[in-house]
């Protein structure tokens, strides 16, 4: 049963990171109260929440407490405890359900879902022993990428296999976890589509973003993506198909490769707002966070519209001081910092969004600022 959650009621969020914080800020604009379950005491979302429950994500008493204080529960990242979330669906209103988390927590079930939805993925095999890898690698060939089925992000838990000589170095990854091996895709670009759907089946995609990674971490998102109209339409259609297949409620980020001929291939899914959608806070008539809140609260969705092309650049630990020293030089930059205390190297600390009528010029401005030179 789809329920309408009204302003003044409380939204519970599992996970206290920046995605939860930006969800909470969007919800607060509409007058909701926020409860957050997060093990660390001083979290980005905890700082803006009304109620903080400080405990591990699988702590039963804490989940019960969250259920008690919340009128609806959502989550801000997928590596939460599936069993805990499932139990929560029995004692609280969790419109997104637990199934989507189960499917996207594991690359094997995730790829199966993408294929079942009728969308293309790179050829792959599933391997759970080193012997099986050696026996079956020829089905995929080289170069290929070995990825742990669970727990990988930002390129962690991955190994590129260029030749038979690289196989022994895969031993330790396979010993720890089931893996997939997929063909290395000679992509021309990486894009992502954030698709959002409410319980009535209303579905909208945010404008497609073009993603530039540095050392496997998202560096920039350029919107609109610099791809052909056909590819754009194919990307949105694929994301909507997957959303429908999964009976999505909430947000799904669909990461894709664009090949030389403009065809797309789905890389992976994230069942939550996504780093590549942050631009929507300033650049669209509805942000990915505002739309997510509408979806889980049973509101009608807004049709997203890009007000102006934009570039989002991530601020990692090493970029915070140079950015802070440059704020006065760039009046048009929207600066977001997530309230994390320790600016560790490569830790996502914030982002900058720049609306622009000249993407190439703005890319140049970003580069010349020197803030992202490390």
- Residues at the interface with ligand AMP (CB under 6 A): 122, 145, 152, 155, 182, 184-185, 190, 213, 216, 255, 267-268
In whole angstroms, how close is the CB of 373 to ligand AMP at the nearest point?
Answer: 21
Name the residue with tokens 């980005």: 44
In whole angstroms, how close is the CB of 269 to ligand AMP at the nearest point?
Answer: 10
In whole angstroms, how close is the CB of 211 to ligand AMP at the nearest point?
Answer: 7
For ligand AMP, give the closer residue by CB, 45 or 149.
149
Residues 44/17, Cβ–Cβ less than 8 Å: yes
In whole angstroms, how close is the CB of 43 to ligand AMP at the nearest point?
Answer: 24
Integer angstrom CA distances of residue 223 from 91, 162, 312:
41, 33, 9
Beta bridge partners of 233: none
For ligand AMP, give the closer residue by CB, 267 or 314.
267
In whole angstroms, how close is the CB of 77 to ligand AMP at the nearest point?
Answer: 14
For ligand AMP, give the closer residue by CB, 10 or 144.
144
For ligand AMP, give the closer residue by CB, 213 or 344.
213
Integer angstrom CA distances of residue 359 from 129, 206, 211, 218:
47, 19, 14, 18
In this structure, what token pair is assigned to residue 59? 């702590």
In this structure, what token pair is assigned to residue 51? 């109620």
For ligand AMP, give the closer residue by CB, 38 or 190.
190
In whole angstroms, how close is the CB of 28 to ligand AMP at the nearest point?
Answer: 31
For ligand AMP, give the closer residue by CB, 186 or 331.
186
Q: How far apart are CA 222 and CA 280, in angstroms?
A: 11
Contacting residues for 57 by C-beta, under 8 A, at least 6 apart: 14, 15, 37, 39, 80, 81, 84
In whole angstroms, how close is the CB of 122 to ligand AMP at the nearest point?
Answer: 5
Integer angstrom CA distances of residue 137 from 114, 159, 162, 268:
22, 14, 11, 21
Q: How far apart are CA 241 and CA 258, in angstroms?
A: 18
Angle CA 145–147–150, to nearest 5: 170
* Dihedral, 313, 232, 299, 71 alpha carbons, nearest 10: -50
In whole angstroms, how close is the CB of 213 to ligand AMP at the nearest point?
Answer: 5
**Which residue sits closest to ligand AMP, CB atoms considered?**
185
For ligand AMP, give the closer residue by CB, 182 or 210.
182
For ligand AMP, give the closer residue by CB, 45 or 145.
145
Residues 240, 246, 248, 253: is their CA dihedral positive or negative?
negative
Residue (of 95, 99, 114, 91) closest to 249 by Cα position: 95
């Amino acid at each position: 049963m789809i329920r309408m959650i009204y302003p003044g009621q409380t939204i519970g969020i599992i996970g206290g990171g920046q995605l939860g914080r930006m969800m909470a800020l969007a919800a607060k604009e509409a007058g909701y109260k926020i409860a957050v379950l997060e093990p660390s005491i001083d979290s980005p979302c905890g700082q803006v929440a009304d109620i903080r429950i400080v405990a591990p994500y699988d702590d039963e008493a804490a989940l019960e407490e969250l259920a008690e204080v919340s009128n609806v529960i959502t989550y801000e990242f997928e590596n939460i405890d599936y069993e805990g979330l499932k139990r929560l669906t029995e004692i609280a209103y969790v419109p997104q359900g637990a199934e989507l988390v189960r499917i996207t927590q594991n690359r094997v079930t995730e790829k199966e879902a993408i294929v079942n939805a009728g969308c293309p993925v790179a050829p792959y095999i599933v391997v759970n022993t080193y012997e099986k890898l050696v026996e079956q690698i020829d089905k995929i060939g080289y170069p290929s990428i070995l990825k742990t089925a669970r727990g990988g992000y930002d390129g962690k838990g991955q190994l590129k296999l260029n030749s038979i000589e690289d196989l022994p170095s895969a031993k330790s990854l396979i010993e720890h976890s089931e893996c997939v091996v997929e063909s290395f895709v000679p992509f021309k670009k990486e894009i992502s589509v954030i698709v959002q759907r409410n319980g009535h089946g209303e579905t909208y995609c945010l404008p497609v973003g073009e993603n530039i990674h540095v050392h496997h971490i998202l560096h920039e998102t350029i919107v609109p993506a610099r791809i052909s109209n056909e590819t754009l339409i194919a990307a949105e259609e694929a994301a909507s198909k997957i959303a429908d297949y999964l009976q999505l409620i909430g947000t799904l980020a669909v990461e894709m490769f664009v090949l030389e001929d403009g065809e797309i291939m789905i890389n992976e899914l994230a069942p939550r707002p996504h780093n590549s959608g942050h631009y929507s806070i300033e650049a669209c008539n509805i942000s990915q966070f505002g739309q997510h809140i509408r979806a889980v609260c049973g509101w009608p969705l807004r049709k997203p519209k890009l007000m102006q092309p934009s570039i989002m650049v991530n601020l990692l630990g090493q970029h915070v001081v140079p950015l802070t020293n440059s704020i006065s030089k760039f009046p048009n930059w929207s600066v977001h910092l997530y309230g994390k205390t320790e600016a560790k190297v490569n830790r996502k600390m914030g982002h900058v969004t720049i609306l622009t009528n000249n993407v190439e010029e703005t890319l140049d401005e970003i580069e010349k600022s020197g803030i992202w030179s490390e």
